[in-house]
Amino acid sequence: MEISEIKQRLPLAEVLHYYGLQPKNKMLLCPFHEDQTASLQVHLEKNFYKCHACGKTGDVIQFVQDYEKLSKHEAIQKCKSLIVQSPLPKNSVMPKPVSAPTNQAERTAFLTKMFLSFRKGLLSSNPAKDYCHGRALDYELLEIGFNGGQFHHGTRKEEKLINDCLQYGLLTMAGTNSRTGGQAYKTFGNKGIVFPLKNKANEIVSLYFRSIIDNNQSKHYYLKERQGLYPQYPNPNTKKLMLTESIIDAASLLQIDHVRKNYSVLACYGVNGLNEEIQQAIKGLDQLEEIIFCFDNDDAGHTAAKNYAEMLFAMYPHIKMTAIPVLSKDVNDDLIKTPNITGYIDLVIEHRYPILKDTPTQKQKVKTPAQSSEIITNEPFLQQPNVIQRLNDLIGKAGIVGEENSRMLLFLITLSYLNKHPLHALVQGSSGSGKTHIISRIADLMPQEDVLRFTRITESSLYNWGEFDLYQKVIVIEDLDGLKEDALYALREFISNQVLRSSVTIKDKKGNNKSSHKIVKGQFSSLSATTKGDTYEDNMSRSFLIAVDESKEQTQRIIEYQNRRNAGEIDPNQNLKIIGVIQKLVRELKVYEVINPYATKLQLPEKVHKIRRLNEMYQAVIKQVTFVNQYQRKRTKNNQLITEIEDVEQATEILFESIILKVDELDGSLRQFFERLKKYVKNENQDFLQREIRQEFGLSKTQVQRYINNLLELEYLKQTGGYANKGIKYKISYWDNHQKLRVEIKDYLMNQIQELKQ
């Protein structure tokens, strides 16, 4: 189909209708920039549009390309599919097709014959079989072919084959063959694996091609006049239907016995591809009880799944709408990364979650307190005693080794994204200490649709999010030290005030510049890794400084865990199962305000510096513990959770190390180094060289130099002699009793709690 034909057959009005855009007086809010004044003018009779603010302009193909951020080729293919699939808007007239409709029986017979040829092509192509292996696709079990692009070559090929391929779209004319002087042809879907699309009679009526070559061009190809479903129309007796975003994701699920026996599977054709034919197929399932969305783990996938769930729920309010927690990029990527794919997918499917949280029927079915945790874990986990301890045990079994109090504190901080006043953590440690690992693993325990992970944040990027894009999110910053001051300033504003307000310049309808007010609201918790946490903690309110345990004992625990995992003694699927369980428990927690009747009776030790800030953090952690214990807590008449003394005790235990850090003038990693140094030196008369310490502690020259310089500056060490070329000698000049201080503070806090119990 030529471009001119696409423009003739696909009105701009139809494309706008497809994307849910309704012009008013020929004007729209421009989808290509942050528009508040309807700057996009559409000329439906001319199939043309222009934005008077950002300058975007073009025809129907350009609109699709810009709206979905596609290449030109991908936009053309998308427009071709829209000609067949999109319903006409009211009061519009679709131009008649250029060519007469083909005979369906002939088309089916031809495509069936061609797919058999493609099937043989796969079995004889090592690159195609290697690609299938790389995508974890079992080509012996699945219906997959391969188009090597040679099916029309050879002197004995019938003329009818060429004509049929031209008619149905497998070939297009491409000028003259320079070698033979005859007609040259271009093969559609060349070097692509092939999947059949089928009609109600289970006949092949179209084909989908997925290129196995990385050529930076489109990888997805559908024959013209696309029709049919993949893998086929669902069984009329289907009770549970799984919808995937892509055909390869659907094929991935079809390889699993549990899926084939208990579910029907249908592939959508991308995030905008739940078309009329799929909807009609769903409509015919009289016994359907549940629709399960298996869309990609990205913003587009989450949004599309939610929108489609709302649409289908409005049509079928008796049907449960759920989603599976895809852990990586998509279902197929999960299969590639998981050794035991059957066990993994079964576990993910078993722990699917309700995708619609606000509809009355959905609440009634899956959100009642008496049922919710039973659905997730087959036991009322949240309703049983000792939730905090049992949850901490689960976190350990999910693969976070040791550091019991720190990991629980990080979990509570991260979980606060659900509440009005979220908390923030700065995880501090030396280079290679595992600080990035622990924040990433804690973030894995949250519902992944709520987690945003950043390696870096540019100076202005936080200002450019949509108003509610950062609402109820978890933000993970892998290297806070790499952020420039402008980005740090924006982050501090979010942490302090939960909003960024900026004055921006936009163009009005006439193209003139004018000022506008842009707001980004940021109710999010955050986890950041840093080597110098005290630098940031001073000017970030509500931020907890948490030190990574760099002791020999913790290192040994980690090594033992790694060795057991490499020996096959730890089942990775069990870890994933536990992660799924914790994610489900998080989804089952209801948002409450918390009242702490003990708040006025709690005091921190006078030795704590920045006591005002720490006191607020102490109260916040108590509230978070109460929040997790919500099924065991009474509520006020205003439906507020009431803190019990057990919550105070648990919060104090969990927060203790952070309280110690507030008392200590040494930061976490420096304190750990100094305590090891005191054990090594043993007495005040013994001096040492940096070289000795590097060799004994297994630390780099840079790390030891930084620790020594800090301790010299704070007067914990003094230089006693030596030479720069032979080594400087040092002695410990201040032998503080850190352990005694820890005991004193612990006794103070616990005695206070015991008095409150009486």
Least confident of 235-239, 596-600, 753-757: 753-757
Structure tokens at 639: 């439906």
* pTM confidence score: 0.51
Q: Identify which of 295, 248, 264 has the alpha carbon closest to the alpha carbon of residue 138.
A: 248
Tell me: the pLDDT tens digits for 470-486? 888 999 988 888 888 88
Residue 340: pLDDT band by 50, 70, 90 thresholds?
low
Mean pLDDT of 141-160: 77
Dihedral (CA of 602, 603, 604, 609) sign: positive
Beta strand pairing call for 451-454 and 473-477: parallel
Tell me: the pLDDT tens digits for 502-539? 887 777 767 788 887 888 888 899 998 888 766 666 55
Q: Identify which of 341, 336, 468 has the alpha carbon closest to the alpha carbon of residue 34.
A: 468
Residue 281: pLDDT band by 50, 70, 90 thresholds?
very high
Mean pLDDT of 278-286: 93
Mean pLDDT of the chain: 82
- Residue whose pair of structure tokens reads 């031209």 in the numeric block: 166
pLDDT of 343 reads: 59
Higher pLDDT, 178 or 83: 83
Beta strand pairing call for 424-428 and 451-454: unpaired
Q: Evaluate if residue 101 carries a pLDDT over 50.
A: no
Q: Please tell me the distance from the alpha carbon of residue 712 to that of residue 13, in angstroms, as a whole number.
A: 73
Higher pLDDT, 659 or 284: 284
> DSSP labels for 207-246?
EEEEE-S--SS--EEE-SS---BSS-PPPTT-SEEEEESS
Q: Please tell me the distance from the alpha carbon of residue 678 to that of residue 716, in angstroms, as a whole number.
A: 11
Residue type, 686: Q
Please say whether the beta carbons of 347 and 576 come within 8 A: yes
Q: Which residues contact 510 (CB under 8 A, 6 or more apart)?
A: 52
Q: Evaluate if residue 703 carries a pLDDT over 80.
A: yes
pLDDT of 542 reads: 66
Least confident of 312-321, 518-527, 660-669: 660-669
Higher pLDDT, 430 or 400: 400
Mean pLDDT of 345-372: 54
Q: Identify which of 618, 619, 650 has the alpha carbon closest to the alpha carbon of residue 632.
A: 650
Q: Please tell me the distance from the alpha carbon of residue 195 to that of residue 142, in angstroms, as a whole number.
A: 9
Tell me: the pLDDT tens digits for 360-413? 434 333 333 323 333 333 346 787 888 898 899 889 888 888 888 889 999 999
Please say whether the beta carbons of 532 and 538 come within 8 A: no
Alpha carbon separation from 658 to 421, 521, 527, 663, 727 (Å, rounded): 19, 29, 15, 9, 36
Rounded to 5 degrees, φ, ψ at 79 are -65, -35
Structure tokens at 567: 């020996």
Tell me: the pLDDT tens digits for 212-243? 886 545 578 888 888 999 999 999 999 999 99
Residue 53: pLDDT band by 50, 70, 90 thresholds?
confident
Q: Identify which of 404, 398, 479 has the alpha carbon closest to the alpha carbon of residue 443.
A: 398
Structure tokens at 389: 């301890």
Tell me: the pLDDT tens digits for 545-571? 888 887 778 888 888 888 888 888 877
pLDDT of 436 reads: 87
Dihedral (CA of 107, 112, 117, 118) sign: positive
